[in-house]
Chain A
Amino acid sequence: MKPVTKLVVAILPVLFLIACGDKVVKPDEESAQGDAVIVDDGSGGVTTLDSSEAERLADELGAGERLQDAIEAGDGLEAGELADVIDMDAAIQDMKDLLAESKVYFDFDKSDIKDDYQDVLQALAEFLVANPEASLVIEGHTDERGTREYNIALGERRAHAVFQFLTLQGVGQDQVRTVSFGEERPDVEGHDESAWKWNRRAVFIYTE
């Protein structure tokens, strides 16, 4: 297999899982996706019901397998064109875009990774293991409650929890690095749980 094909084969299931499995709808996106229903399970974990079909497909996907299904169900690419049509730059750009949207959410004052995110992180780990030249910054964030410096520490704990998950799966320590922003960069402005739950998060920045 050519290196480029290997990368794409590794990348696509990750893209797909991130695109479908972990899709969440923030309040400011609701109008654009009017039929989305947000289900809050009370633990802070959120699932959307508008993409059940995609989720089912995503669940069936194994890393690097059923590639054809993924492409057909995913973004309209013709299966036969795979290795030749998709160029690396575009795939990496997609990776960046999707990583930018992919977030791991946490409960108040907690830094343990909930079950909802295990599959996505597993796929991400496999991608990073398969592509040791790829690297990520994990940003840890908190909601506005509590003191600023405490939140810098809490944000770091969250980023580190993701770091540990990935490195335990074999990702190189030099491939991932953590940064805490504490409460300084909220995703959603607001002073109650409807905003806070989106701000307690770890996010990924793809670096080259």
Chain B
Amino acid sequence: MVKRTCWFLLLAACLLNAAHAALTIEITEGVDDALPIAIVPFQWSGPGPAPENIAQIITADLNRSGQFEALPEQDMLAKPAAPKDIKFNNWRVLGIPNLLIGQLHATDTEDLVVEFRLFDVFQQKQLAGFRYRTKPGQLRNIAHKVSDIVYEELTGIKGAFGTDIVYIKKFSNKDPKPYRLYLADADGFNEQEIMRHHMPIFSPTWSPDNSQLAFAMAGSMGQGVFLFDVATGKSPVRITPREVKASAPSWSPDGKKLALQVLENGSADIFIMDVSSKKMQRITKHWSIDAEPSWSPDGQSIIFTSERGGTAQLYQYSFAEKKIKRLTFKGRSNLRAAHSPDGKMITFVHLSSNNGYNIAVMDLATEEMRLVAGESNGESEHESPSFAPNGSMIIYAANYLQKSTRSRKTGLVAVSVDGAMRQHFVDNGIGEVREPAWSSFLN
């Protein structure tokens, strides 16, 4: 497939919006056949300037997906805000098949009303139209919701623009608290620091209902797994027993249990723990390392990394059969699997025979493996891959050349599952951004 390097730097979106983006997104590879769309600036009716540029947020979302190419505002021949104002010919001549128009109104109360319509230009037909009543602080979320609807209407895949990501930032060891856990919108805006600590924080993961984050800490205060309640925002609490050296949490699909990597007598094994009773149940017992469990979305199996065959490879434990089966055979080793939301695929770290770390995907039905990122992409030190909630993208951490500054940086990268589209989440701070985890769809 011919790839095109387009790299939009979406700085404008940050400059014009009050909300601050801690991570800005640079698209480094986009698809050739991106779908053209016109997103007309939403008409504002109310006092003073519009509180948010909704069209701009939607434009940024859709361009960032790599599957759309929004018509620049200056190329528009008209800027209709209501269906009666649309002259389809104005768009047809530009070869634009899809048109989004909308309005933002003030009301008697503090509330605002957002309405939008999506049209098929060639069939002159409305594909979708919605009206929302909302609070001023929610306008970014509403804009992401519009992006989700447009994306799903035109691609058939559920949009994930309104989701959140968590990640770790590691600052210099001279910093008294170099480990920080962050939460942000999937477009890098609204970053919030959850906690900072002098001991390592790692392996953050969302509970299936997005209400809680589990993560691990190591060090002299005792290794263990902690929970952060996203809704209340209270300080994280240790949930594994103090004497148990646990890490690598992975939630059961019902959110009641965690699969864990537990260190005992120098050996790591897989256990599951009931979150409320804290009862531990051993899953594997082997003198070699068993690590990094990922619970399947159907709840029936756990995939983990094991060295039992001599090198680190992925194995699958089935609860029904109580049997362990080896899944990977290619390359020097394969580590740290994460399931796709539909459970049909896994993504993992693949160490090739020349010692390069890569990100791979495997179809669990065919057991066919494919690389989606590696040194051929100008990246190195790939780690911690996980799927976006709609299964279309994989997010991971790697060291890469930042296009805008021409310097190397360790940060987050997202790549489409087919490998065609790639984007860097550029952090302009000094920390190293690592271990991203994408939430599931938010309600």
Q: Which residues of A contact B (CB under 8 A)?
A: 111, 137, 144-150, 152-154, 156-157, 159-161, 163-164, 178-182, 184-185, 191, 205
Contact = CB atoms under 8 A, between A and B. Distances in A.
Most A CB atoms within 10 A — which of B248, B384, B435?
B248
Interface in B209-235: 216, 218-220, 223
B52 interface: no
B263 A149 contact: no
A184 B219 CA distance: 10
A185 B218 CA distance: 11
A184 B200 contact: yes
Contacts of B268: 152-153, 156
Contacts of A156: 245, 263, 266, 268
A153 B218 contact: no
Interface of B: 173, 200, 202-203, 216, 218-220, 223, 245, 247-248, 261, 263, 265-268, 289, 291-292, 305, 312, 333, 335-336, 349, 351, 357, 380-381, 383-384, 435
A66 B384 CA distance: 54
Contact of B261 (A144, A149, A179): A149
Nearest to A153: B268
Contacts, number: 90
A147 B261 contact: no
B79 to A, nearest CB: 50
Closest 10 CB pairs of A and B: A160-B266, A153-B268, A184-B200, A147-B336, A149-B248, A153-B289, A156-B263, A147-B335, A149-B292, A153-B291
Contact of B266 (A152, A157, A185): A157
19 contacts: A111-B266, A147-B349, A148-B435, A149-B216, A149-B248, A150-B291, A150-B305, A152-B202, A152-B218, A153-B263, A153-B267, A154-B289, A156-B268, A160-B265, A160-B266, A179-B218, A179-B220, A180-B263, A185-B200
Contacts of A180: 218, 223, 245, 263
A44 to B, nearest CB: 16
A146 B247 CA distance: 16
Nearest to B249: A149
A161 B266 contact: yes
B264 to A, nearest CB: 9
A149 B291 contact: yes
A199 B300 CA distance: 39
A148 B384 contact: yes
A148 B266 contact: no
B57 to A, nearest CB: 34
A147 B218 contact: no
Contact of B336 (A150, A154, A205): A150
B381 A148 contact: no
Contacts of A146: 312, 333, 335, 351
Contacts of B203: 148-149
Contacts of A191: 380-381
Contacts of B333: 146
A145 B90 CA distance: 56
A21 to B, nearest CB: 26
A10 B203 CA distance: 44
B261 A153 contact: yes
Contact of B218 (A145, A164, A182): A182
A144 B200 contact: no
A181 B200 contact: yes
B432 to A, nearest CB: 11
Most B CB atoms within 10 A — which of A144, A153, A182, A185?
A153
Nearest to B269: A153
Most A CB atoms within 10 A — which of B216, B219, B384?
B219
A157 B335 CA distance: 18
Most A CB atoms within 10 A — which of B265, B289, B357, B381?
B289
Contacts of A185: 173, 200
A150 B381 contact: no
B261 A157 contact: no
Nearest to A145: B357
Given A149-B261, A184-B200, A191-B381, A157 B218 contact: no
A147 B292 contact: yes
Contact of B202 (A145, A149, A164): A149
Nearest to A186: B173
A114 B381 CA distance: 28
Given A149-B261, A150-B289, A180-B223, 16 more contacts: A144-B381, A146-B351, A147-B335, A148-B384, A149-B247, A149-B305, A149-B336, A152-B202, A152-B216, A152-B261, A153-B263, A161-B266, A163-B266, A181-B200, A185-B200, A191-B380
